[in-house]
């Protein structure tokens, strides 16, 4: 089976409610869809969202990177030689992690369809059932409390609270939600780089003193401040997770060798796809560190690829694939099955995606 063409389309899907973090706000997912066709007519699907604030990728750069560099580098290659395809894909252009991820997952979709197996089985086949948390956007404490209670009412057992804008207010946000949620709900915090190291240490210690029982704190400080991350890690007892600090396998080695974090958050859009994500999972496992699989504001196309990866690997112990629930519509046919708060990968070949409604020309 040879890769014959790489076509690009776009989707536009409104969110139920604006997604707000210390870094950005999103109202509508305006994402690029990759439709990769093999010489026997089989189709593989991929997706990249424009997450300029984190990856630097916009829809314009995603489109041009695929058209000018990635597609020409892999067109005509035999899917059975997966390592050659991935070698060329990853070296086709510097950076551009989201367009690489979109093409990487379309290749994996074709590859697993070629062998007639669901992707998760070919990658390791550890489980089929994933439980996701739900993100609560950063807002006034009272609004966040209402959103948290609504999420618990829907059946979620873990909430990821966005913090990192004004640490006094952050204390109030978390305190109010812990009070309303009771002791059995897991609370994860994500500061999205919003604190300085000193502010992070002070704030996290206050969470600890108040007994707010935080499962972990994600990305307290600036992405490239590895020393700051280590300082926070060394001065609090809560577990610290790297997100924006950890893009590549090399970042994972550096952070884990420094003992700067306790957990890492892998996102396909940061690490340029499944090929590199597998390396990161292996590095983390070697260091005895567990991974979470997270996402950007993505539709069920790339979320299904992420779900197959998470299902495949024992060392991916948490998933934060809630974009599927934040979106108001689901135009994707097939893919994972959703039963809040669980996602199940299916045994259909590849990603199991059979079509996408409302695809628009670029």
Length of the chain: 362
Q: What share of the chain is helix, strand, coil (3-state, %, to 5)?
A: 40, 25, 35
- 267 tagged catalytic: yes
- Assess contact for 112 and 122: CB atoms under 8 A: yes
CB nearer to Mg ion: pick between 47 and 190? 190
State the minimum distance, in angstroms, from the CB of residue 138 to Mg ion: 12
Rule CB under 5 A: say whether 322 interacts with Mg ion.
Answer: no
Nearer to Mg ion, 59 or 192 (CB): 192
Say which of 100, 162, 231, 300 is annotated catalytic: 162
- Smallest gap, in angstroms, from Cβ of residue 192 to Mg ion? 6
Closest CB to Mg ion among 53 and 253? 53
Which of 88, 222 has the CB closer to Mg ion?
Answer: 222
Least Å distance between CB 200 and Mg ion?
Answer: 14
Site string for Mg ion, 183-222 (x = CB under 5 A): -------x---------------------------x----
Minimal CB distance residue for Mg ion: 243
Task: Spell 71-103 as b/e; 16+ CB within 10 A means b.
Answer: bebbeebebeebeebbeebbebbeebbbbbbbb
Q: Helix H segments across the chain?
A: 59-65, 71-74, 82-91, 97-114, 119-123, 141-154, 167-181, 197-209, 226-235, 249-257, 268-271, 274-286, 300-312, 323-326
Nearest distance from C-beta of residue 63 to Mg ion, angstroms = 26
Residue 293 or 353 with smaller CB distance to Mg ion: 293
CB of 299: closest distance to Mg ion in angstroms?
Answer: 19
Q: Per-residue x/- marks for Mg ion, 35-54, CB under 5 A?
A: --------------------
Which residues have CB under 8 Å from 106's CB, separation 6+? 6, 34, 35, 36, 44, 45, 46
- Compute the least distance from the CB of residue 264 to Mg ion, in Å: 11
Cα separation, 315 vs 35, in Å, equals: 30
Class of residue 200 by CB neighbours under 10 A (exposed 0-12, middle 13-18, buried 19+): buried
Residues 225-244 that bind Mg ion (CB under 5 A): 243
Of the listed 100, 113, 231, 267, which one is catalytic? 267
244, with CB counted inside 10 A (0-12, 13-18, 19+), is buried
Binding mask 243-262 for Mg ion (x = CB under 5 A): x-------------------
| Closer Cβ to Mg ion, 34 or 293, answer by number | 293
Catalytic residues: 162, 267
Which residues bind to Mg ion, rule: CB under 5 A?
A: 190, 218, 243
């Amino acid at each position: 089976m040879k890769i014959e063409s790489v076509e690009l389309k776009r989707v536009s899907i409104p969110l139920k409610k604006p997604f707000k973090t210390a870094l950005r706000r999103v109202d509508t997912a305006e994402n690029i869809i990759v439709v990769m066709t093999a010489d026997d007519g089989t189709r593989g699907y991929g997706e990249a969202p424009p997450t300029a604030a984190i990856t630097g990728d916009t829809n314009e750069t995603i489109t041009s990177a695929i058209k000018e560099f990635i597609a020409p580098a892999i067109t005509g290659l035999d899917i059975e030689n997966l390592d050659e395809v991935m070698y060329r894909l990853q070296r086709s252009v510097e950076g551009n992690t989201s367009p690489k991820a979109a093409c990487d997952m379309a290749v994996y979709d074709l590859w697993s369809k070629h062998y007639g197996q669901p992707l998760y089985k070919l990658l390791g086949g550890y489980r089929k059932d994933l439980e996701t948390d739900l993100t609560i956007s950063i807002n006034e404490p009272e609004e966040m409390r209402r959103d948290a209670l609504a999420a618990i009412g829907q059946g979620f057992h873990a909430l990821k609270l966005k913090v990192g804008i004004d640490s006094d207010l952050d204390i109030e946000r978390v305190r109010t939600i812990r009070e309303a949620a009771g002791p059995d709900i897991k609370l994860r915090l994500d500061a999205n780089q919003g604190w300085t190291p000193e502010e992070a240490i002070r704030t996290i210690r206050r969470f600890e003193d108040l007994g707010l029982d935080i499962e972990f704190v994600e990305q307290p400080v600036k992405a490239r401040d590895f020393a700051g991350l280590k300082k926070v890690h060394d001065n609090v007892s809560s577990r610290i997770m790297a997100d924006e600090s950890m893009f590549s396998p090399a970042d994972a080695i550096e952070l884990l060798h420094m003992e700067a974090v306790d957990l890492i958050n892998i996102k396909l859009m940061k690490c340029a796809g499944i090929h590199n994500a597998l390396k990161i999972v292996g590095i983390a496992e070697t260091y005895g560190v567990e991974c979470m699989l997270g996402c950007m504001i993505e539709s069920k196309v790339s979320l299904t690829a992420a779900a197959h990866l998470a299902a495949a690997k024992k060392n991916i112990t948490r998933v934060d694939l809630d974009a599927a629930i934040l979106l108001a519509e689901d135009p994707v046919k097939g893919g994972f099955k959703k039963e809040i708060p669980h996602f199940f990968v299916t045994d259909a070949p590849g990603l199991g995606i059979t079509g996408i409604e409302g695809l628009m020309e670029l």
